[in-house]
Amino acid sequence: MILQQLYTKCLAQGAYFISSNGEGAIIDPLREVQPYLDLAAENKTTIKYIFLTHFHADFVSGQVDLAKATGATVILGPNAKAGYDYHSASDGEIFILGDLSITTIHTPGHTMESTCYLLKDKQGKEEALFTGDTLFIGDVGRPDLAAKTDLTTHDLAGHLYDSLHHKIAPLSDDIIIYPAHGAGSACGKNMSSETSDTLGNQKQNNYAFKLNKEDFIKELTDGLTFPPAYFPHNVAMNKKANTDFDTIINRGTTALTPDQFEKLANEKEVLVLDTRSVFAFAKASLPQAWFVGLQGQFAPWIGALIADIHQKIIFIAEEGTEEEVVTRLARVGYDNSLGFLEGGVEAWEQSGRTVVATAEVTAQEFVDGIATGDIKNPLDVRKAGEYATSHIEGLPHMGLDEVHVNAHTLEAGNTYHIHCAGGYRSLIYASIAKSYGINSVVNVLGGYGAIKKADTSSIKLT
């Protein structure tokens, strides 16, 4: 038996490859399917099944393209309805894979079609459970994403409690739990950075197994933040066949000369995106470019900040990363990349066009400037929870996740010094603020991490 977890850090997402005697399955594949085809070829495996634990909200899955490429059957859980060919599994249905078997365990709660898949070896011993967003390591899936008028968040939390305690808890303690997500995902509140664990450990350490039903529902429904705006769009895309991935890549990786790039950039409905490093963007970029660098949580921030999933995008990339940019945009449903600036910012500048730099200060200069009053408009743009944990006393909070709202409250004539945790999100904030007419924004190098290492005796950290 071969069991491989394919973990994508950018999305904090785990897909799975299982193979036995030449027959294989993929669980929760990402949009691009070539890695799975390569893995199958490497292991002389024919992909027989593609299992989806549920209709994912935070990424677009590649089950349709993968089924076309392999002839495999897409398996969805009970209650799932999709606009492509699939097999609707019943609770307890068994699928044979070489010497192995995979049993459907319907676990409604995160969503009503949510389903776990139990892997057994050829002797029938329970080996692993692929839990999707029903059970994470240290947490469970949020219960609000599938709420509707006749099914509340509280209802879903109650279903999730029943699924955990009546369907999962009775399984063998030594089976390995393989979830769809880990720390960093917006699909839960407090996931572990671990990407697998035994069920026995989770029953001992995961709060979800320790609470009674009433307390469990309260814990899950209190303090829920609004899900990113792109989540319902991704759910809808996962219920239908979408533009095939190769078409998206071919269009998105079109090389554009500075003249072609400028013509598109001047169109109102086209967004210019700079995906390079923090250092490269701060040094020089196009005046209207938004920064979302590939090195950070690229796809989640794209989804959180670009409201229109059909947004036309042209981009600047480090040479050789163009296909990766288009791939990572498509993973969250942004399929309308039109091309990239050939030769990058250097070609743009050499053509006589304007580039702009983003002003920066060190953490110590920031601290000293606050203490002396020379810095008059400092801002903390981290998430609310980070700010609540620790911040500079008196420093206003304006989270990046709400920049499209709070940037309107800034004054165009002021200079704002902003920091996040490490200098990545503050640069995103600075670039987007410019689109709202806030042109004088200074980024704090290294963010709050660097601030805490500076001499802070002149200010107070709460």
CA distance 124 to 129: 14
Res 148: pLDDT: 85
- 385 confidence band (pLDDT: 50, 70, 90): confident
Task: Tokens 């699909």: give the residue.
Answer: 187
Contacts (Cβ under 8 Å, ≥6 apart) of 257: 342, 347
Answer yes or no: are the C-beta atoms of 245 and 31 closer than 8 Å: yes
Dihedral sign computed on CA atoms, order 47, 50, 56, 60: positive
DSSP state, residue 225: P
Residue pair 29/47 in contact (Cβ under 8 Å)? The answer is: no
Q: Give dist(CA 78, CA 89) in Å, integer.
A: 6
Q: Identify the band that residue 364 occupies on the pLDDT scale cut at 50, 70 and 90.
A: very high
Instruction: Give the model's pLDDT for residue 188.
Output: 77
- Residues near 222 by Cβ (< 8 Å), separated by ≥ 6? none
Residue 338 above 90 pLDDT? yes
On the question of pLDDT at 428 being above 90, the answer is: yes
Average pLDDT for 307-315: 96
Q: Give the predicted TM-score (pTM) of the model.
A: 0.91
| Alpha helix ranges (H) inside 179-283 | 199-205, 213-221, 231-237, 245-252, 258-265, 278-283
The whole-angstrom separation of Cα 234 and Cα 240 is 10
Residue 189 has pLDDT above 80, yes or no: no
**Model pLDDT for residues 213-267, shown as the tens digit of each residue:** 999 999 999 988 778 889 999 999 999 999 999 999 999 999 999 999 999 999 9
User: Which whole-number Å values give the CA distances from 423 to 281, 318, 417, 452, in the listed order?
Assistant: 12, 19, 12, 13
Q: What is the pLDDT of residues 442-451, one digit of tens each?
A: 999 999 999 9
Half-sphere exposure of 120 (CA within 13 A, CB side): 16
Q: How far apart are CA 286 and CA 259, in angstroms?
A: 14
Average pLDDT, the chain: 95
pLDDT for the residue 149: 79
CA dist., res. 294 & res. 10, Å (int) = 9
Relative to beta strand 441-444, strand 359-361 is parallel
Q: DSSP code of 198?
A: E
Tens of pLDDT along 13-30?
999 999 999 999 999 999
Strands 23-27 and 13-20, sheet pairing: antiparallel
- The pLDDT of residue 166 is 97
Residue 190: pLDDT band with limits 50, 70, 90: confident
The answer to whether the CB of 57 falls within 8 A of the CB of 24 is no
Nearest 5°: the CA angle 153, 157, 163 is 145
Q: How many CB atoms within 10 Å of residue 141?
A: 33
Residue 304: partners with Cβ closer than 8 Å, 6 or more residues away = 228, 229, 230, 401
The contacts of residue 135 (CB under 8 Å, 6+ apart) are: 116, 129, 141, 164, 168, 177, 179, 202, 206, 208
Please tell me what DSSP assigns to residue 17.
E
Q: Where are the alpha helices (DSSP H) in 15-145?
A: 34-42, 63-70
How high is the pLDDT of residue 261? 98
Q: Check pLDDT > 90 for residue 191.
A: no
Question: What is the reported pLDDT for 81?
Answer: 96
Q: How confident is the model at residue 398 (pLDDT cuts 50, 70, 90)?
A: very high
Mean pLDDT of 115-144: 96
